[in-house]
Chain A
Amino acid sequence: MNNALILLIIIPLITGMVLIIFRKKIVFHRVASAAALLVTSIISLILIYQVKTKGIQSLQLGGWEAPFGISFVVDMFSALLLLTTSLVAFACLGYAFRSIGTEREANYFYPLYLFLITGVYGSFLTGDLFNLFVCFEVMLISSYVLLSLGGTKIQLRESIKYILINVLSSSLFLVGIAYLYAVVGTLNMAHLSARIAEVGQDGVTTTVSLLFIIVFGLKAALFLFYWLPGSYSAPPTAIGAIFAALLTKVGIYALFRTFTLIFYHEPQITHLLLGIMGVATMVLGAFGAIAFSDIKRILTYNVIISVGLIIAGLASYSLIGITGSINYLVHDMIIKALLFLIGGTIISLTGTDKLGEVTGLIRTHPYLGWMFFIAALSVSGIPPLSGFLGKVFITKGTFEAGYYWLGGVGLMTSLMVLYSVMKIFMNAFWGETNLSQEMEKGTTKGVMFPIVLLTMLTVLLGVGAEAMQPYVKIAADDLMNPLHYIHAVLGSNSLQ
C-alpha cells in the first residue's frame, strides 16, 4: 500500500475543482496550478526513489484486494513518464501565463488544463484496463474543451474531426474490453497477464489484441494519424504544445503496457504488425514534414515520425530496443513541447506561419534562434543531445531482432527530420532581417522562461544520460519481465 500514488491524481483534480469555485481570481488560478504541478513533480521524484529502492509500488483502492478491487501501480517506466509529464506540463503552463489571454483564463482554462494532466497521470498509474479507459476519457474530454475553447472557426472545424475520431476509438476500446472480459474473465492487467500466460494466447485473444492495436494506434497516432496534423495546429501554442508532448504519448504508453505485460506471447504477429505500422508512420510522417512549408504542419508531422520510431523499439521486443524506446519517449515529450513552444513564439512574433515570409530573426532574437538550433539537433538525434541515445538503442534493438528494414527506415527518417527542422531554422533565422523590432506582432517577454527550462532539460538529458541509465534499465527490465509486475500487484494471490 502506498497512498502517494493516488496523490498524483488527487492533487490536480482537487486544485482544479477549487479553481472552478473561485472562478474570478485569475492570479490565484496561476499560482495554484503552478504549485499543484510542482508538488506532483516532487511526488513523482519520490516515487522514482521508492521504486528504485523498494521495487514496483501498488495501491489497492479502498483496501479491496486485486483482482477484485481497482489497483494503481507504479513501476519505473510509469514513474519516469510521470516525472517528465510534470516537468513538461509545468513548462507549458508557464508559457500559457503570458500567451493564453484573459478570455480563456476566465473560461476555466487552468482547471481544464489540470484535469487533462489528471487524466494523463491516471493513465500512467492505473493497473486496470477499464480504469485506463476512464482515465483516457478524463484526458480526452478535457482536451476536447481545450481544443475548442475560444471558438475560432478553425478550432471548431478541427474539434469536430478530433471528437469524432476519438469517440470512434473509445467505443472500439470498450468493445475490445468487453471481448477481453468475455474471453479471460478479468480486467486487472496483472491478472490478465497471469491468466493469459497460464492458458496461452490463442487465436481469439490475439484477435482481440489486434483490436487494441487499432484503438491505441488511433490515440497514439500510429499509422492512423490523419486526424492529428489539423487538430494539433488549431489551438493556441501552449495547448498545442501540451497536446503534442503528452496525448500521443499516453497512447504509446498503453501500447507498451498491453504488449509487454498482456499480449506478449505472439510477437511474430502482434509486434511485427506494430513494426510495419511504425515503418508506415515514419515514412508518411517524413513525407509530410518535408512537403509542407508552414511551421506548425512541419512540427506536427515530426510528432508523427517520433511515434513510429518509439514503436519500432517495442516491435523489436528486445531489452535493448525497449531501453531505447524509454529513453526516446522521455526525450520526445520534452523536445516536442520545446519545438512547439519555439514554433509558436516565432508565429506570434511574425504573425505568419509560412516559411519564407520572414527571415533573419537571429539578429533580433539570438537566444530564441540558438535554442531552436539546439532543439533541432536534439530532435534529430545528434550527440551529445538527448535524442541520440534512444535512437542508437532502438536501432540496435531492431537490428538484433532481425528487423533491418525497421531500423534502416528509422535512420533514414532521422535525416528527413533533420532536414525539416533545419528548413525552419534556415528560413526563419538566417538571411536578411526583414522584420524590425517595431513591426513585430508579439513579444518574447515572459515566454522565454519555459523555453529555457526545456532547452536545459534536453541538454541535461543528453549530457547526463549516463546518470539516467540505471533507472531506464530498471524500467526496461520490469517491462521485459511481466512477473515483477504481477507479483507487485497480486502479491501472494499471484499463484491463483
Chain B
Amino acid sequence: MKRANDLLLKAVIKVAVLIILTFSINLFFSGHHHPGGGFIGGLGVSAALILLFLTYDIETVTENLPFDFKIMGAIGVLIAVGTGMGSFLFNAPFLSQTYGYFHLPVFGETELATALLFDLGVALAVIGSSVTIILSISEDE
C-alpha cells in the first residue's frame, strides 16, 4: 500500500503544513474577538499533523515529534479545568474570566485575557484526542 517516496507530495506538504500551522495559530489567537478559538485552532494543527503522518510514515514523524498525544490531551484538559478553578481563589464562580491591557516589548499595548489560557487547554485537548483517534484507527491488527 505504501507509496515509495512520493516526491511531489512531500514537496507540497512541506509548504502546506507550514501554511496550515500558521493559519491555525492565527485562528487560535483571533478567537478571542473574532471567529476562531482553541477548538478550531487545535483542529487545524491536528490536520497539519495528520498530513505529515500521511506523507511520511508514523515512525519518522514520531521520531521528530516525540509526544504522547494521549498525555497531551490530558494535560490540555488539566490546563482548561485548572484555569477555571483559578476563579476559586478570587471567590468567583467557576470559569469566571478577566482581562487587562499590558505593555509588552515587541507587541506594544496588548490585551491579555485569562480565557486565552483556557483556550490553550482546549487546543491541546483537541490536538491530543483527534490525533490519538486517527493514529489508533490507522494501526492495523
Q: How many A-B residue pairs have CB under 8 A?
A: 44
Contact assessment for A62 and B95 in the assembled complex, using a CB-CB cutoff below 8 Å: yes
Evaluate whether A13 and B77 lie within 8 angstroms (CB atoms) in the complex, with A20-B70, A21-B71 already known: yes
Q: Which residue of B lies closest to A13 (CB)?
A: B81
Which chain B positions have C-beta within 8 A of A14?
A: 78, 81-82
Contact assessment for A63 and B70 in the assembled complex, using a CB-CB cutoff below 8 Å: no
| Whole-angstrom distance between the Cβ of B67 and the nearest chain A Cβ | 12
Which chain A positions have C-beta within 8 A of B73?
A: 20
Which chain B positions have C-beta within 8 A of A20?
A: 70-71, 73-74
Could you say which interface size class chain A belongs to?
10 to 19
Q: Which of A1-37 contact B (CB under 8 A)?
A: 1, 3, 6, 10, 13-14, 17-18, 20-21, 23
Contact assessment for A63 and B93 in the assembled complex, using a CB-CB cutoff below 8 Å: yes
Bound-complex Cα distance A62 to B80 (A): 13
| Whole-angstrom distance between the Cβ of B125 and the nearest chain A Cβ | 9
Bound-complex Cα distance A213 to B84 (A): 35
Contact assessment for A62 and B71 in the assembled complex, using a CB-CB cutoff below 8 Å: no
Contact assessment for B74 and A62 in the assembled complex, using a CB-CB cutoff below 8 Å: no
Tell me whether A455 is interfacial, beta carbon within 8 Å. no
Contact assessment for A62 and B81 in the assembled complex, using a CB-CB cutoff below 8 Å: no
Contact assessment for B93 and A59 in the assembled complex, using a CB-CB cutoff below 8 Å: yes
Contact assessment for B95 and A61 in the assembled complex, using a CB-CB cutoff below 8 Å: yes
Contact assessment for B78 and A18 in the assembled complex, using a CB-CB cutoff below 8 Å: yes
Q: Which of A34-65 contact B (CB under 8 A)?
A: 59-63
Q: Which residue of A lies closest to B76 (CB)?
A: A17
Q: Which residue of B lies closest to A111 (CB)?
A: B74
Contact assessment for A63 and B78 in the assembled complex, using a CB-CB cutoff below 8 Å: no
Which chain B positions have C-beta within 8 A of A10?
A: 81, 84-85, 94
Task: Kindly supply a per-residue 1/0 record for chain B positions 62-76, scoring 1 wherever the CB is within 8 Å of any chain A CB and 0 otherwise.
Answer: 000000001101110
Which chain B positions have C-beta within 8 A of A13?
A: 77, 81
Bound-complex Cα distance A10 to B95 (A): 12
Bound-complex Cα distance A3 to B95 (A): 10
Q: Which residue of A lies closest to B78 (CB)?
A: A17
Task: Kindly supply a per-residue 1/0 record for chain B positions 88-106, scoring 1 wherever the CB is within 8 Å of any chain A CB and 0 otherwise.
Answer: 1000111111000000000
Q: Which residue of B lies closest to A60 (CB)?
A: B93
Bound-complex Cα distance A3 to B88 (A): 7
Q: Which of B6-63 contact A (CB under 8 A)?
A: none
Bound-complex Cα distance A3 to B86 (A): 12
Bound-complex Cα distance A1 to B77 (A): 24
Residues of B near any A CB (own CB < 8 A): 70-71, 73-75, 77-78, 81-82, 84-85, 87-88, 92-97
Q: List 10 A-B contacts (CB under 8 A).
A: A3-B87, A3-B94, A10-B81, A10-B85, A13-B81, A14-B81, A20-B73, A20-B74, A61-B93, A63-B93
Apart from A3-B94, A14-B82, A18-B78, 15 more pairs, CB < 8 Å: A1-B93, A3-B87, A3-B88, A6-B94, A10-B81, A10-B94, A14-B81, A17-B77, A18-B74, A20-B74, A21-B75, A61-B93, A61-B94, A62-B97, A63-B92
